[in-house]
Amino acid sequence: MSKHVAAKRLAAPDIASRKGGEPIVCLTAYTAPMAALLDPHCDLLLVGDSVGMVVHGLPNTVGVTLDMMILHGQAVMRGAERAMVVVDMPFGSYEAGPETAYANAARILKETGCQAVKVESGPEVAATVEYLVRRGIPVMGHVGLRPQAVNVDGGFRAKGRTQTERERVLAEAAATDAAGAFAIVVEGVAEDLAAEITTAVRAPTIGIGASAACDGQILVTDDMLGLFDWTPKFVRRYADLRTAVSTAAAGYAADVRARTFPAAAETYALGAKRRVAGAGDAE
Ligand code: KIV
């Protein structure tokens, strides 16, 4: 029997029970190696539909497909052992009604092995959230700045600047909570609104650009690693990988052009006997 005992993976009730307690640490992940690096430090990894912009170069998340989310969800599940993995339902995969949403969410859970899905939520999808939760699919909500509404909103803008907008965001959070979401992402709102939502709802709130008033925090990993030349105001950069990657690529290019790479130490020296290369040789 293998001595390796897999770490117990966190699940929706573990995250839900952290309301008002130790802050919930979340980051996005899209690939297996990055998920493996983030896993020991995070409670929850979100395979966000931000993958469309971050990895695939799309202008927004509207073009992201269910197949893309499933492919990246599978990769993240291979890399992460302990963190709960949540996969975003892409635009068009859940809004039409509960039954379509259920079929698509079930596909995500079956084909990736992830523990839950996330939907951009409010009163208009509350019945869908409840339908999924009652049928065994944990749902994370997402209120405030909802990136999939970019075409209605005309851009990515913080929410809650007017009283009407404030009430709309509060209503989104209340409806998502009443529908049974185990956690709610709150994006792009000022601290007082984030605090009001966090007090009003039973589910833990996970803030992104929503102040420290939330029960947990999430960032797009590539933003906090400094992989882009521009990041929103609310992002803190913990690394400057853009410079590191660019410097590494420039060094490699210079060495190849100068014929100093590969050197003898990076070159196979085959013995007198001719051998057919096999998988074990490539070390
Ligand atoms: O898609 C995403 O990465 C998200 C986070 C920004 C919360 O929804």
pLDDT of residue 201: 98
Q: What tens digit of pLDDT does each residue of 51-104 get?
A: 999 999 999 999 999 999 999 999 999 999 999 999 999 999 999 999 999 999
According to the model, what pLDDT value does residue 127 have? 98
Q: For the domain 12-237, what is the CATH code?
A: 3.20.20.60
* CA 54 to centroid of ligand 1, rounded, Å: 11
Tell me the CA distances in angstroms from 166 to 27, 59, 188, one per residue in order: 26, 27, 12
For ligand 1, atom 6, name the residue with the nearest CA: 220
Would you call 167 a catalytic residue per the annotation?
no
Q: How many CA atoms lie within 13 A of 4 on its CB side?
A: 2
SS3 at position 275: coil
Ligand 1 centroid – CA 276 distance (Å): 48
Pocket of ligand 1 contains residue 208 by CB under 6 Å: yes
Residues whose CB falls within 8 Å of the CB of residue 150, separated by 6 or more in sequence, listed in order: 60, 61, 62, 156
Q: What pLDDT is attached to residue 282?
A: 55
Which tens digits make up the pLDDT trace of 148-193? 998 988 888 888 889 999 999 999 999 999 999 999 999 999 999 9
Type of residue at 57: G
Is residue 220 within 6 Å of ligand 1 at its C-beta?
Answer: yes
pLDDT at 104: 98
Residue nearest atom 2 in ligand 1 by C-alpha distance = 48
The answer to whether the CB of 185 is under 6 A from ligand 1 is yes
pLDDT at 181: 98
* pLDDT at 205 (0 to 100): 98
Which atom number of ligand 1 is nearest to the Cα of residue 206?
Answer: 7
> 220-233: per-residue pLDDT in tens?
999 999 999 999 99
Tell me, using a 6 A CB cutoff, whether residue 218 lines ligand 1: yes
- Give mean pLDDT, residues 18-33: 98
Q: Which among 48, 23, 45, 11 has a CA at the least distance from the CA of 142?
A: 48
Q: Whose CA is nearest to atom 3 of ligand 1?
A: 48
The pLDDT of residue 270 is 84
Q: Which of 124, 172, 187, 266 is catalytic?
A: 187
Residue 147 alpha carbon, nearest atom of ligand 1: 8
49 lines ligand 1 (CB under 6 A): yes
Contacts of 125 (CB under 8 A, 6+ apart): 94, 95, 101, 119
Check residue 276 and give its pLDDT: 55
Q: Which residue's CA is the closest to the ligand 1 atom numbered 4?
A: 48
Q: Where do the domains of the chain lie?
A: 12-237, 240-268
Maximum Cα interatomic distance, the chain, rounded to a whole number of Å: 81
Separation of CA 220 and ligand 1 centre (Å): 7
Calculate how far, in angstroms, residue 214's C-alpha sits from the geometric centre of ligand 1: 16
User: What is the distance in A from the centroid of ligand 1 to the CA of 52?
Assistant: 11
How buried is residue 38: exposed, middle or buried, by Cβ count under 10 Å (0-12/13-18/19+)? buried
Percentage of the chain with pLDDT > 90? Answer: 89
Looking up tokens 């909802």 gives 146
Average pLDDT of span 125-137: 98
Nearest CA to ligand 1 atom 5: 48
Average pLDDT of the chain, as a whole number: 94
